[in-house]
């Protein structure tokens, strides 16, 4: 294979923003003319609009997705002495948010085919101190609402969704963020709906939770210079909200583009299943938001799965040689991160999460990725496997 000069980026934000540049610049100028940079008009408009498209009542903008989890849990009454169940297979912000709320995180394993939280394992982890479960709608795919609601009803648990990667995702008639008491979203630039910097939001049906959160994000002050909570400064900037207001009407269309791209990947990758290349299973159908498109590179002979001739690192190197950017989400599960060893978990505690972290590889995924680029990505993958198989036979 000869290298090519045209890079296929992992995410192409320039292609997304260029058609909207005039609208975005005008929205920023409007904020500058009003001068309402903090808790301004554009923020209030975006909070209402985003909550509405998520089929919820209240949106409260905060500084980032991590704050959305931490402050959201606090606003729901979760804190010291409470146990909160979450998956070991998630971005570290989920764990940090639970810890910052004051609660005790209880990690559980995930499902091999979907990478989502294993609700059977979650049920076994419930104790008298368990107050809440944080299902992570990972990669843009929702955890089953019916199973979540059944678990929560049976054990009197609060559901607080981590929907940071699942903007407008749907499953079983529910939209991400509308299942539980509240949900956290991130507007990190690379998200399906991304700001031009950091940003986050909590959405909720509960008026009291919304009021509490508005206080917590603003120094614990429900009104100026009157502090009823030990809050913090975590407010979604009005300029960022103005940008997000411009982009929100395009989100559903962008998500449809992502589903189309995933469908192309799925079709082209089918012949490679027999070679140990297995896409993370979609159980949401068209409701998958496909923030990421993730494959498994299976390198060990187990459970009757085919084995790949190349390991993940070798495949990444082949992609890099061909100017195709890839990612790993995530290379080390939460319980094995050095910063959180005091939680007491050890290697082997969550074998599926640990195995997936060694297998997963994220391929380019963004609105505007062309059919030609998708074919090129799969061609590089296929050619790499053919070359490696031939080398093994000749050896």
Angstrom distance (rounded) from CA 308 to CA 144: 30
**Per-residue pLDDT tens for 196-238?**
999 999 999 999 999 999 999 999 998 889 999 999 999 999 9
Q: Mind listing the pLDDT tens digit for each residue in 253-279?
A: 999 999 999 999 999 999 999 999 999
Using CA atoms of 284, 142, 352, 335 in order, give the dihedral in degrees to the nearest 10: 170
Decide the pairing of beta strands 130-133 and 158-162: parallel
Task: Give the integer Cα–Cα distance in Å for 169 and 174.
Answer: 8
- Cα-based torsion angle of the residue sequence 101, 103, 109, 112 in order, rounded to the nearest 10 degrees: -20
Which residues have C-beta within 8 Å of that of residue 223, sequence separation ≥ 6?
A: none
- Opening angle at CA 339, ends 336 and 342, nearest 5: 80
The CA distance from 146 to 296, in Å, is: 27
Residues in Cβ contact with 328 at an 8 Å cutoff, skipping those fewer than 6 apart = 312, 357, 360, 361, 362
The token pair that represents 115 in the structure block: 């990478």
Q: Please give the Cα distance from 329 to 139 (Å, whole number).
A: 9
Predicted local distance difference test score (pLDDT) of residue 304: 83
CA-wise closest residue to 116 among 176, 73, 59? 176
| Residues across the chain | 395
Task: Summarize pLDDT for 269-306 with one digit per residue, the tens.
Answer: 999 999 999 999 999 999 999 999 999 999 988 778 89
Which two tokens mark 149? Answer: 């609601």
**Minimal CA–CA distance to 175: which of 287, 252, 291, 258?**
287
Q: Which residues of the chain have pLDDT under 50?
A: 1-4, 394-395
Same fold for the pair 14-250 and 251-394 = no
Q: Is the dihedral angle over the CA atoms 217, 222, 223, 224 positive or is it negative?
A: negative
* SS3 per residue for the chain: CCCCCCCECCCCHHHHHHHHHHHHHHHHHHHHHHCCCCCCHHHHHHHHHHHHHCCCCEEEEECCHHHHHHHHHHHCCCCCCCEEEEECCCCHHHHHHHHHCCCEEEEECECCCCCCECHHHHHHCCCCCEEEECCECHHHCCCCHHHHHHHHHHHCCEEEEECCCCCCCEECCEECCCCCCEEEEECCCCCCCCCCCCCEEEEECCHHHHHHHHHHCECCCCECCECCCCCCECCCCHHHHHHHHHHHHHHHHHHHHHHHHHHHHHHHHHHHHHHCEEECCCCCHHHCCCCCEEEEECCCCCCCCCCCCCCHHHHHHHHHHCCECCECCCCCCHHHCHHHHHHCCCCCCCHHHHHHHHHEEEECCCCCCCHHHHHHHHHHHHHHHHHHHHHHHHC
264 beta partners: none
- pTM for the structure as a whole: 0.96
The phi and psi torsions of 20 (rounded to 5 degrees) equal -105, 5
Identify the pLDDT of residue 392: 57
Of 241, 234, 220, 237, give the one whose Cα is nearest residue 70: 234
Q: How many Å apart are CA 127 and CA 235, to the nearest integer?
A: 35
Q: Considering 80, 113, 124, 191, which one is annotated as catalytic?
A: 191
Structurally, what CATH architecture does the domain formed by 14-250 represent?
3-Layer(aba) Sandwich (3.40)
Q: Does 191 participate in catalysis according to the annotation? A: yes
Express each pLDDT in 325-344 by its tens digit.
Answer: 999 999 999 999 999 999 99
Task: Write down the domain spans for the chain.
Answer: 14-250, 251-394
How far apart (Å, rounded) are the C-alpha atoms in residues 198 and 395?
A: 51
Is domain 251-394 in CATH 3.40.50.1110, yes or no? no
């Amino acid at each position: 294979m000869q290298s090519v000069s045209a890079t296929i980026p992992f995410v192409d934000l320039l292609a997304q923003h260029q058609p909207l540049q005039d609208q975005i610049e005008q929205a920023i100028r409007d904020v500058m003319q009003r001068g309402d940079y903090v808790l301004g008009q554009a923020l209030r408009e975006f909070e209402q609009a985003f909550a509405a498209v998520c089929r919820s009542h209240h949106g409260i903008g905060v500084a980032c997705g991590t704050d959305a989890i931490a402050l959201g849990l606090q606003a729901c009454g979760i804190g010291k002495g409470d146990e909160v169940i979450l998956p070991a297979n998630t971005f570290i912000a989920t764990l940090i948010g639970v810890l910052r709320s004051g609660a005790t995180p209880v990690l559980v394993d995930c499902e091999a085919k979907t990478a989502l939280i294993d609700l059977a394992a979650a049920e076994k982890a419930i104790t008298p101190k368990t107050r809440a479960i944080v299902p992570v709608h990972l990669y843009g795919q929702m955890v089953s609402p019916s199973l979540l609601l059944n678990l929560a009803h049976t054990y009197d648990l609060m559901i607080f969704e981590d929907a940071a990667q699942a903007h407008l995702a749907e499953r079983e008639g529910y939209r991400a963020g509308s299942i539980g008491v509240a949900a956290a979203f991130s507007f990190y630039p690379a998200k399906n709906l991304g700001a031009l910097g950091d940003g986050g939001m909590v959405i909720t049906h509960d008026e009291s939770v919304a009021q509490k959160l508005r206080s917590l994000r603003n120094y614990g002050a429900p009104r100026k210079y009157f502090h009823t909570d030990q809050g913090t400064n975590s407010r979604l900037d009005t300029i960022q909200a103005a940008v997000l207001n411009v982009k929100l009407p395009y989100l559903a269309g962008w998500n449809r583009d992502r589903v189309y791209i995933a469908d192309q990947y799925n079709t082209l990758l089918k012949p490679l299943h027999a070679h140990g290349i297995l896409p993370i299973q979609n159980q949401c159908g068209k409701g998958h938001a496909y923030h990421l498109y993730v494959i498994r590179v299976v390198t060990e002979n187990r459970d009757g799965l085919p084995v790949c001739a190349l390991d993940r690192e070798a495949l990444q190197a082949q992609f890099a040689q061909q100017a195709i950017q890839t990612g790993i989400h995530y290379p080390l599960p939460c319980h094995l991160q050095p910063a959180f060893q005091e939680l007491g978990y050890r290697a082997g505690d969550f074998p599926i999460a640990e195995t997936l972290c060694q297998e997963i590889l994220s391929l380019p995924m963004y609105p505007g990725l062309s059919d030609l680029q998708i074919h090129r990505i799969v061609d590089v993958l296929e050619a790499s496997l053919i070359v490696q198989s031939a080398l093994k036979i000749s050896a």
